[in-house]
Chains A and B, each alone.
Chain A
Amino acid sequence: MSTIKVDTVQSTGGSTVALTGIMTAKYFVHYVQGTPAVNKSLNSSSVTDASTGHFTLNYTSAFDDANYGLNSGLGQNTDDADSDRGGHSIGFENGGTVNTTSAQLNYLYGASQGSASIDNDTISFHTLYGDLA
């Protein structure tokens, strides 16, 4: 067995190094929208609570372009009885801003045609993949 101890890995030219088979997440956040509060994060400078069900993820290190990927999970923090746990959806806000340093998201609750923005008691998880600047 061999162990390499190092603090920073760079290519010989000083830029990114190929880590074969590894694609790391460049951002994640555990966000409680009702408070609001960030419980755990990577590369998050803040989450801005814009209005009910609307919030903006802000990044410490920028992406190199706005074509990064979002993977989310969501749910109710409390009051999550079987009769009250369906119809949630979340994602980049339709018509909202997605740029290299931030993205607007919208949390909806309700049946598909009658969805309303919501923020009470909602926890959501967001992970971003792509290239950093």
Chain B
Amino acid sequence: MSTLKTNTLTGTTSAGSILVTGEGGSTTTNLQQGLAKAWISFNGGVSTPVAIDSFGTSTLTDNGTGDYSQTLTNAMGNANYVHSGSAGVNDGSGSAISLRNYGYNTARTQSTTVYNINNSYDNNNAINSYNVSIVHGDLA
């Protein structure tokens, strides 16, 4: 076994592109593209929602019930990046947990530095929730 120790990895052909071999040894995947560019876990059920833990995020804005905007520390290359995640509420209601959803509110615009999260249940009920959100895509 050999171990390479360094602080920075940079592509030679393209600085932002390094291929790594897949686990099965027959395919490759792009290291930079596969890395999460930001993530956050936050409790939206308190008067001023704050991150429980996070990476690559800055201001979390509470727009209203179940309606949040998250600012990224580093801008993405364009607004077509991916943010996926999950949401839940620990309100003791038990059976209602399956109705909690994670989505995004496009009444607000997703930009290279800000994306939006909605939490709701049933057909039309916004609700404050715990959220975990992960961002993938290309950095600027």
Contact = CB atoms under 8 A, between A and B. Distances in A.
Interface of A: 1-12, 14-17, 19, 22, 24-26, 28-30, 39-40, 42-43, 61-62, 64, 71-78, 80-89, 110-112, 123, 125-127, 131-133
Contact of B27 (A22, A29, A61): A61
Contacts of A62: 27
21 contacts: A1-B8, A3-B9, A4-B10, A6-B11, A16-B20, A16-B22, A16-B25, A24-B31, A25-B33, A25-B35, A26-B22, A29-B82, A30-B80, A61-B27, A61-B29, A71-B85, A75-B105, A85-B118, A86-B121, A87-B124, A123-B106
Interface residues of B, number: 61
Contact of B24 (A25, A64, A111, A125): A64
A76 B120 CA distance: 13
B69 interface: no
B98 A112 contact: yes
B134 A40 contact: no
B28 to A, nearest CB: 7
